[in-house]
Amino acid sequence: MEQLMSLHRWVSAALPKLTAEGILTPSDSSKQALVLLPLTGDAGFRQYYRVNTSPECLLVRGPKQPGKSESGAHFADLSSVLHQHGVPTPLIYACDIDNNYLLIESFGGTDLLDVLSADTVEAYYSLAQSTLIKLQQVDQLKDCLPVYDNAMLLQELALFPEWFVETMLGHELSSAERRMFDQLASFLSQRAEEQPQVVVHRDYHSRNIMYRDSGELGVIDFQDAVYGPITYDLASLLKDCYVRWPPEDVQRWAMDYMNMAIKAGVMPEVSFQQFVQWFDLMGLQRHIKVLGIFARLSLRDGKNRYLSDLPLVMRYTLETAQKYPHTQAFAQWFERVLLPRIILQPWYHDHNTAGDVR
């Protein structure tokens, strides 16, 4: 209660200046009290509140001793730069660096996943890909962001054996299994590093792209941005952990994106075969990592809502790993050793049909 009162006092103190500048008014009625409505948080440690200003805004409270990506000042700086380059990120109304509070523009409560269907996906994905190109063109962030290098990629992949295999499934890797996984991780990291490097949102998917009443999109949750492989965000979007589209459509959209990126000067000309391999293997790296992250969110942080999405992530993982010679040993091991344990998990449902749009 004391924390909520502190937040309430901060918003109340910030509003007069914003009201004088014509940005916000305290509420629709001068008689209506200021209300902070808690929202379900994301996978990080931030807390969110809807504020009944007009127009509505969001209060974001980060951890008291944040890392760089959890810093309100870092989020505000990134949002400002991206917004200046045409990326629709939230406007920052107020920032308290000491307490790690932010008051930001609200894009509403409807994300892209809420409005995606077989009838709408073409238009929305085209818009999302155009927005992604704008983000990747922000050259001034190149020297300001962490580099998505070999060490970071391998560190992420290590979440899979630690949290998904050993902690969730209770299987301790043998020395031979560990060598097999290390070889896979090295291969995937090399394929990522050989790609053109750009600004990477790092979580560019249907729950972090907001649908706005104007029909435009809004981009959120970009505070973990890095400088890294060009196909990472595309794989996040087209091989979304929360919805799946027919592979032939995904491949067509990937080709559309590649052509746009070449035309925009974001990447040099490469063969589509090369680009698809980059795209597929980057998606495999991401999905293996996500299996570990979703397991950790449940087991360490008590965020169990991600468990129901694990079968779709498994489906992506196996589909791609079965496709390429260097990754087939991993796919075979996954099916032979892990799958019998996985099907006993309470969250499991048939991964072969997971994510299909009905």
Q: Assess contact for 262 and 291: CB atoms under 8 A.
A: no
Number of H-type helices and E-type strands within the chain: 13, 9
Whether residues 269 and 216 share a domain: the answer is yes
Question: What does the alpha-carbon distance between residue 49 and residue 35 come to, in Å, rounded to a whole number?
Answer: 9
Q: Is residue 352 part of a domain?
A: no
Sign, CA dihedral 181-145-89-93, equals positive
Question: What does the alpha-carbon distance between residue 125 and residue 290 come to, in Å, rounded to a whole number?
Answer: 22
Whether residues 30 and 156 share a domain: the answer is no
Question: What does the alpha-carbon distance between residue 248 and residue 198 come to, in Å, rounded to a whole number?
Answer: 26
Q: What is the domain count for the chain?
A: 2
Whether residues 80 and 142 share a domain: the answer is no
Domain membership of residue 142 as a residue range: 112-342
pLDDT attached to residue 164 = 98
Q: Is the pLDDT of residue 358 over 60?
A: no
The pTM score is 0.93
pLDDT tens profile 32-91: 688 899 987 665 678 899 999 988 999 999 887 666 667 888 999 999 999 999 999 999
Helix (H) or strand (E) holding 3: helix 2-20
Q: Is residue 358 part of a domain?
A: no
Q: Is residue 335 part of a domain?
A: yes
Which residues of the chain form beta strands (DSSP E)? 36-39, 47-51, 57-61, 92-96, 101-105, 197-200, 209-211, 217-219, 226-229
**pLDDT level of residue 320 (50, 70, 90 thresholds):** very high
